[in-house]
Amino acid sequence: MYTIVNIRPLGYNVGNNAIHFALRHMLYEVFGRLVSVIEYPATSKHESTAKAGLTSATVHDINRFADGVIVGGGNLYENDEIDVDARALRALNPPLMLFSNSRGRIYDRYGRLTERSDVIDDSKLKALLSRADMSLSRDSATHHYLRSIDARDRLGWCPTINVNRYADRLPVLPETEDVGTLISVRTPGLMNVPYRFQARIQDHIEAVIDRLRKAGHKRIRILCNDSRDLDFAASFRYTKNVDSIYTNDVYLYLALLRQAKMVVSYRLHATLPAISFGTPTINVVYDERAQSLFDDLGISGAYLDMVQMGHNFSEEMMAQVQNGGYTKNDHAVLDQEWGRIEKSQFESFADFKVMMEQYLMKGVRGG
């Protein structure tokens, strides 16, 4: 039995669990068997634990029992959500893979992309990249930046494009459960866009609800990825008689996305699983990391940039509702390209498996 430590974002967001669901099942497939995956939070900022990230306490544990370490996936670079002790990192023994992490810019008040104030420091990135045996960035924006520090970085995309491979692992929802159409939201105050755009979001969603009903969508619900979205979601109960749904159970979350009539999404990790399942989607982006990943996946025409579109955004959104969103048929032209991307991801995990086997046999990394 192989033992892999996965250092990843935990926190509030079920989208992080969707990433981990895909990663874990891809590992089982590559290794041809169950693998012991031991999770540590990437940072102690959101957890009541002394063990997080790549610090002295976690590295001590890892060196005692782990055969490999995977950091990611998630937004660990973007908002410096990983604790790293450079001295402990140098003492790490097993192979280390950095997988599907992102670093992206956000819109400032003038509508220009700018660096975040909490972005990971280059010195920490350099330490991680120098020690890593493999580094695969989630998107081209991240990849191009990391290559300026370490030329070995490669593009790795996001594992959630593979969730449909594992749809048979998902539960059957109750017989009387009518999933309906889901609007996956993010609380405007947590979105890194100028306030004038935040202030329009509730009106946009209420207009979408009206247009969905006009188009024949009878059951409409607000889907929360994060418990912090519930207060915002509850407001639509009073303005539009639309209720909300939240689960931190990733299996139920993915089952809902799979069985929805349509998903209108402000959340990257509602969008990608929905597309993988073939669920019609309308996708809203508002930062560089999402734009870059969608472009890398060939779905540039399948998203609406709420900042770049400005006052045209609402009209374009209504048109997409009327046209049925981005459908399985629309996506069919990308089946071959996504197959190539998936093959590349699995080959990278197979390469990492070889590194782990060498470490197990010899007690040292490398040939």
Task: Give which of 269, 260, 268 is closest to 328, Cα–Cα.
Answer: 260
Q: What is the mean pLDDT of residues 298-315?
A: 95
Q: Is residue 113 part of a domain?
A: yes
pLDDT > 90 in the chain, percent: 94
Tokens (6 digits) for 325: 């969103």
The rounded mean pLDDT for the chain is 96
| 75 vs 192: CA distance, rounded Å | 14
| Cβ atoms within 10 Å of 67's Cβ, excluding its own | 21
The gap between the terminal CA atoms of the chain, to the nearest Å, is 22
- 29-34 LR contacts (CB < 8 Å, sep 24+): 29/165, 29/346, 30/346, 30/349, 30/350, 30/353, 31/2, 31/353, 33/1, 34/1
Q: Give the side-chain half-sphere CA count within 13 A for 43.
A: 15
Tens digits of per-residue pLDDT, 58-84? 999 999 999 999 999 999 999 999 999
Q: Which residue has the tokens 């579109």?
A: 309
CA distance 97 to 69: 6
Are 109 and 149 in contact, with CB atoms under 8 Å apart?
A: no
Is residue 75 domain-resident? Answer: yes
Judge if 101 and 181 occupy the same domain.
no
Same domain, 191 and 322: yes
Q: Within 148-249, where are the H helices?
A: 195-198, 201-214, 230-239
Amino acid at 70: I
Element (H, E) at 265: strand 262-265
Identify whether 40 is part of a domain.
yes
The per-residue pLDDT for 279 is 98
pLDDT value for 367:
55
Question: Residue 25's pLDDT is what?
Answer: 97
Residues 205 and 149 placed together within one structural domain of the fold: no
Q: For the whole model, what pTM was predicted? A: 0.96
Backbone angles phi, psi at 254, to 5 degrees: -70, -35
**148-159 residue pLDDT tens:** 999 999 999 999
Same domain, 317 and 344: no
What is the pLDDT averaged over residues 248-266?
98
Report CA torsion sign: 279, 280, 286, 288.
Answer: positive
Res 283 pLDDT > 90: yes
Please tell me whether residues 198 and 321 are part of one structural domain: yes
d(CA 63, CA 94): 7
Q: What is the pLDDT of residue 141?
A: 98
The domain total for the chain is 2
Which band of pLDDT confidence, cut at 50, 70 and 90, is reported for residue 244?
Answer: very high
**What's the rounded Cα separation, in Å, for the pair 37 and 35?**
6
Same domain, 45 and 65: yes
Query: Do 156 and 218 reside in the same domain of the chain?
Result: no
Is pLDDT above 90 for 284?
yes
Average pLDDT over residues 261-281: 98
Residue 32: which domain range? 3-163+340-362
Please tell me the predicted confidence (pLDDT) of residue 362. Answer: 85
* CB-based burial label for 126 (10 Å; 0-12, 13-18, 19+): middle
Give domain status of residue 218, yes or no.
yes
